[in-house]
Amino acid sequence: MDEKVLLGHGSGGTMMRRIIDEVFFDAYGGEELAAGNDAADLPLPAEGERLAYSTDSFVVTPHFFPGGDIGHLAVCGTVNDVATSGAAPKYLSCGFILEEGFPMEDLKRICQSMADVAKEAGVRIVTGDTKVVNRGHGDGVYINTSGVGFIPAGRVLGGQYCKPGDKVLVSGTLGDHGITIMSCREELSFRADLKSDAAPLNHLIAEVLEAAPHTRCFRDPTRGGLASTLNELAEQSGVDMVVDEMNVPVKDAVRGACEMLGYDVFQVANEGKMVCVVPAEESELALEAMRANEYGTDAAIIGEVLPCPDDRSPRVSIRTGFGSMRILDMLVGEQLPRIC
């Protein structure tokens, strides 16, 4: 096996066949992928079920970081996006854009990471693509993943269904991923060890839905963080939201890093956390279900949904530790580039 990715690995010839067989198939090749066809032949959902479909591209640097790597992130990100619809994720596609000279051992490590997290999530990578670009025209590796899952009959979730009186929950501590990536990229040292929170949350979502079947919506607070996520939900539903700062879980190391760097922790990216809006009467059941999952042990009820006055647009506010109120705006511009 070649030690580096070469242009020939994207040529469609024997070298490409070799990288497919010895890297991709070896890591996560199931029967659909191993069939070698241009399209995977997959079963249809049962009658009454609907299809959920999502796609995302991942360009993070560095490629390897505490708590994960670009491959782990790619699978988690798409699994979570599909799962927010209430679907059970089933199948993923994976497209690689490789730069000439990228170490083959690093590629194998990325693929094995993808295989491991796909197994944990209970999904299969069933089709893919590989392209190689000239040296200097990429950043080592970019990955695109698309995913499909099946939504059970009668289940309807969405950001437009939030209602006054609902409670807002978050599945764990904020800012872990964004601050980890920034510290690695800028070679910053903090007293406490930080690692990415990237994780597949489809099982956590399923458990919440079982405990709180009238859950309004789920949303993963990735780019733009919690602030952007809540503003999007408020706008979709035409409601106000209020968050209690003292109830939002944040690790001391992340809070300290944000203060040092001048970041608002509510705008920092997360890759393994989930926000959900739940009717008040089911909020404690949803919280209990989150905390029972390994990825939700720090879950908390952080706020509530309020009616929005007719004379203005929807608004998200935060009640500070001093008892004052401030507006929680969406992220403007780019704060933490290339976090996913």
pLDDT for 32 equals 81
| 336 pLDDT more than 80 | no
Identify which has the larger pLDDT, 244 or 33: 244
Q: Where exactly does CATH 3.30.1330.10 map onto the chain?
A: 7-151
As a whole-number percent, the residues of the chain with pLDDT over 70 amount to: 96
If you average pLDDT over residues 138-161, what whole number do you get?
96
If you average pLDDT over residues 285-308, what whole number do you get?
98
If you average pLDDT over residues 122-131, what whole number do you get?
95
Distances (CA, A) of 18 to 13, 30, 127, 183: 9, 17, 16, 37
Q: Does domain 159-327 have CATH number 3.90.650.10?
A: yes
| 188 pLDDT more than 80 | no
pLDDT for 15 equals 85
Which three-class secondary structure string do you get for the chain?
A: CCCECCHHHHCCCHHHHHHHHHHHHHHHCCHHHHCCCCCCCCCCCCCCCEEEEEEEEECCCCCEECCEEHHHHHHHHHHHHHHCCCCEEEEEEEEEEEECCCEHHHHHHHHHHHHHHHHHHCCEEEEEEEEEECCCCCCCEEEEEEEEEEECCCCCCCHHHCCCCCEEEECCCCCHHHHHHHHHHCCCCCCCCCCCCCCCCHHHHHHHHHHCCCCCEEECCCCCHHHHHHHHHHHHHCEEEEEEHHHCCCCHHHHHHHHHHCCCHHHCCCCCCCEEEECHHHHHHHHHHHHHCCCCCCCEEEEEEEECCCCCCCCEEEECCCCCEEECCCCCCCCCCCCC
Rounded-to-integer distance, Cα 235 and Cα 246, Å: 24
If you average pLDDT over residues 311-340, what whole number do you get?
83
If we measure between CA atoms, which residue out of 96, 160, 104, 153 comes closest to residue 128?
96
If you average pLDDT over residues 301-322, what whole number do you get?
95
| 337 pLDDT more than 60 | no
* 100-124 pLDDT, tens digit each: 999 999 999 999 999 999 999 999 9
* 30-82 pLDDT, tens digit each: 888 777 777 888 888 888 899 999 999 999 989 999 999 999 999 999 999 99
Residue 46 C-alpha from the chain's centroid: 27
Range from 123-132, 145-154, 180-189, 296-305 carrying the lowest mean pLDDT: 180-189
Please name the CATH architecture into which domain 7-151 falls.
Answer: 2-Layer Sandwich (3.30)
Rounded-to-integer distance, Cα 307 and Cα 309, Å: 7
Phi, psi of 45 (to 5 degrees): -65, 165
Contact assessment for residue 314 and residue 307, using Cβ atoms and an 8 Å cutoff: no
If you average pLDDT over residues 127-144, what whole number do you get?
95
If you average pLDDT over residues 306-333, what whole number do you get?
90
pLDDT for 223 equals 83
pLDDT for 41 equals 82
pLDDT band per the 50, 70, 90 thresholds, residue 334? low
Contact assessment for residue 236 and residue 159, using Cβ atoms and an 8 Å cutoff: yes
If you average pLDDT over residues 270-290, what whole number do you get?
97
pLDDT for 69 equals 97
Q: Where exactly does CATH 3.90.650.10 map onto the chain?
A: 159-327
| 335 pLDDT more than 70 | no
Chain mean pLDDT for the chain: 92
Distances (CA, A) of 294 to 51, 173, 272: 28, 13, 11
Contact assessment for residue 301 and residue 309, using Cβ atoms and an 8 Å cutoff: no
Distances (CA, A) of 135 to 6, 99, 106, 138, 339: 9, 6, 16, 7, 23
| 187 pLDDT more than 80 | no
Confidence (pTM)? 0.92
If you average pLDDT over residues 273-285, what whole number do you get?
98
